[in-house]
Structure 1
Amino acid sequence: MYDFAIVGGGIVGLSTGMALTKRYPGAKIIMIEKEKDWARHQTGHNSGVIHSGIYYKPGSYKARFAREGNAAMVEFCKEHGIAYDVCGKVIVATEPKELPLLDNLYQRGLQNELNVKKIDKEELKEIEPHVAGLAAIRVPSCGIADYKGVSRTFARIIQEGGGELRLGTKAENIAEEANKVTIETNRGTIEARFLINCAGLHSDRVAKMTGMKTGMKIVPFRGEYYELVPEKRHLVKHLIYPVPNPDFPFLGVHFTRMINGEVHAGPNAVLAFKREGYTKKDIDIKDVFEVLTYSGFWKMAMPNMKEGMKEMVRSFSKQAFLHSLQRLIPELTEKDIVPTHAGVRAQALMHDGSMVDDFAIFSGKSSMHVCNAPSPAATASIKIGEEIANRVPESLEFRIKAHVVPAVSV
């Protein structure tokens, strides 16, 4: 029997496995992932940003984990030779009505103990000559990292610590008892003293297999990106973000310098018709039915219908997408951008239509479920893994130590 079984091989599941390996040397740990490689979904399709935590409510898990996770991620990349670049970020107000919102964001940055600086139009022109803005916030601690490389390094550390890694292994049914869980997979049965669910886009379904009632459902939103053609990459020096719309739960279309030198622009946010629906043609009837028959979706969608329609227009119209980008860099033309990758965000929705805004972790009899891990989860992954390891019940901790640490007579 294993001590820990972790379902889900994205960056959060792997960081959890690494944290448990370090906290419980000798414990039997198994990682299972249904895909043929690690970090194939949210981790592998995100923008690669190392966030600072400026957007998040002071005192929230997001704010604390982003701030602490930022430093931990940079240090981890340094230590293991993983590509990263602390290039900094500017958040730009392009209209007078955005200036009070920019000031609120600046105050939030100070509350979250960040090194942030307000800059005027002239200072913005000095550091980003091609950006049009009235004022901005400069956040030096933001950057980019190779999160696929980070994930593979987490996996290697788990394996070197004695953990077992199983790719191509999908959890199909789970029976949870007081002292163990039995996981039926497409490759046989796994028994463990404790289950940790880090299944990302499918985390609510894995939780449901154990009988856990979370009161939330995952609704997938696809974010589509364009890429600047190589001869226009010089237009972007930092990560460049707009002031976010306070009435819409996404950060808006922005520019990201990628670790390979590319510059990506996006994302929009449109309902995906499949939980792993990276293109408009990806449709899963079961996934669509679940969303459209969930009352929480309609309670969320109706008040946001106007913004949602704008996002749909951007999805189908390159010109509309370009118009959003020109708010920040007016000289861009249609020939300067080409379509590139898309990602899918697992957004947890409550029955009342409210979007779960913070990390959500639930505990069962012999299980723990990470049912909402939105951005900045990649940035914060090391700290999230440590938090999960710290939440292991004392009774289980005693049982694990009893069989991995030999008794010593005094």
Structure 2
Amino acid sequence: MSRPRVVVVGGGIIGSAVARRLTLLEPRPQVTLVEKELTPGRHQTARNSGVVHAGLYYAPGSAKAALSRTGVERLRRYCRERGLPYEEVGKLVIALDEAEEGRLRDIECRALANGVPGLRWLGTDALREVEPHAVGRAALHSPTTAITDFSRVAEAMLADARDRGAQVVTDFEVVGFGQSGGRVDVQAADGRHVRADRVVLAGGVHADRLAVLAGDGPTPAIVPFRGEYHQLRPEATHLVSGLVYPVPDPRYPFLGVHLTRRVDGGVLLGPNAVLATAREGYRRRDVDLEVIRALLASKGFRRFARSNLRTGAQEVVGSLSRHAFVERVRRYVPEIDHADVEPALAGVRAQAMDADGSLVEDFRFSRVGAVLCIRNAPSPAATASLAIADLVVDRLDLAGT
């Protein structure tokens, strides 16, 4: 009896985790991972802050909440087994005024319901014992929130998969799927193709485009948002011990500018969140007319833009003015000087949006014949990657091939 053939499209941390999990099955399927770049993991996996999220913000009972708590435990063990960096530097979510303190109490309730361990409510003086250079009215401290290097984690997962027989094919840009008789022909732009009994689409910012190629519907559509980071110069990194976050604004779907210690000792500031004009639009000058046309034609996006006009404008100001960006940071750590800050990396977040303009907050999957589409894998996807891989493999129904 031949082994089922599974193709994973996308070599980021989710695709790598899925490929690894497939090779742990008995009987083991034939696994092929295809990646459009010359090396895997170059996009969202390599362009993030490296925070391992403990599950503070997520609605109790949501997939985000469950997968983050399961995922963080799995990730901690995996990093230790593989000798990868994993540092529990802790996170402070700081409220600056009475209104923010009320929202922070709501976050505390969510975090407790989600089983986040070791939470502490801190006043003005107590928060400075954790972050001596930070200021605020009150703070929620999550001591087990950690940092890692997700690029190295993804590389290790892919190495595990290779060691167990998986093939990794790079420079393979998928342009079509031919489904017939329960089988799939995965087609590349250069004429190559790979046949499969099951396909997993883990395409990140290309998730909707790939799903449509496989025969799925156009929504949720991916709206790319660029997150621009700055960093502290080496002589100023002592001003931040761990992770310093603002209380999220419920009117906007992103967390706001925060300060993040990295495993290499550096400190990132940001990101802001501005609309990107290309799916891989890491620079302001990166423009894809197809993306712009799709956004302008979308009634849902226009509705979203109108309802978030004020906050979006503030994000644009922070993008165009380093002074404005640093002033946001100084609200939490006033000793940071403008001369202490320099530009750093930028990333693009694959934000899924429904037809009515509402953002998809939780994980979402769909199935088209033999193709399983990961339509939305928002933060904490990297944290939860090992748990997500279990979920995906369970849904593949390999027994039916």
TM-score by length of 2: 0.97
My pick for the range that moved more, 346-355 or 118-127, is 118-127
Instruction: Determine the structure 2 residue equivalent to 1:306.
Output: 310
Q: Equivalences for 1:343-382 in 2 at 5 Å?
A: 343-382=347-386
Which of 65, 76, 81 is the aligned partner of 1:63? 65
C-alpha separation in 1, matches of 2:257 and 2:51 = 14
Q: Following TM superposition, by how much is the alpha carbon of 1:359 offset from its aligned partner in structure 2, in angstroms?
A: 0.6
Which of 182, 192, 195 is the aligned partner of 1:191? 195
Q: Equivalences for 1:118-197 in 2 at 5 Å?
A: 118-187=121-190, 188-197=192-201
Q: Following TM superposition, by how much is the alpha carbon of 1:176 offset from its aligned partner in structure 2, in angstroms?
A: 2.2
Q: Equivalences for 1:4-403 in 2 at 5 Å?
A: 4-115=6-117, 116-187=119-190, 188-213=192-217, 215-393=219-397, 396-399=398-401
C-alpha separation in 2, matches of 1:58 and 1:372 = 19
On the 8 A contact 1:121/1:133 being kept in 2, the answer is: yes
On the 8 A contact 2:184/2:198 being kept in 1, the answer is: yes
My pick for the range that moved more, 208-217 or 299-308, is 208-217
What per-residue deviation string (whole Å, max 9, x for no partner) do you get for residues 100-142 of structure 1?
1111111111111112111111111111111011110010121
C-alpha separation in 1, matches of 2:19 and 2:180 = 22
On the 8 A contact 1:203/1:370 being kept in 2, the answer is: yes
My pick for the range that moved more, 50-59 or 116-125, is 116-125
C-alpha separation in 2, matches of 1:233 and 1:25 = 50
C-alpha separation in 1, matches of 2:146 and 2:48 = 14
C-alpha separation in 1, matches of 2:175 and 2:370 = 18
Instruction: Determine the structure 2 residue equivalent to 1:403.
Output: none
What per-residue deviation string (whole Å, max 9, x for no partner) do you get for residues 218-262 of structure 1?
010000011011111011011110111011100010000011110
On the 8 A contact 1:52/1:142 being kept in 2, the answer is: yes
Q: Give 4+ residue runs of structure 1 displaced > 6 Å after superposition.
A: none
Q: Secondary structure at the match of 1:307?
A: helix
What per-residue deviation string (whole Å, max 9, x for no partner) do you get for residues 172-201 of structure 1?
111223511111113511110011100111
What per-residue deviation string (whole Å, max 9, x for no partner) do you get for residues 323-349 of structure 1?
110110112221011010000000001
Q: Which amino acid aligns with 1:142?
A: T
Q: Following TM superposition, by how much is the alpha carbon of 1:25 offset from its aligned partner in structure 2, in angstroms?
A: 4.1
TM-score by length of 1: 0.95
In the alignment, structure 1 segments of 5+ residues that lack a partner are: 400-410
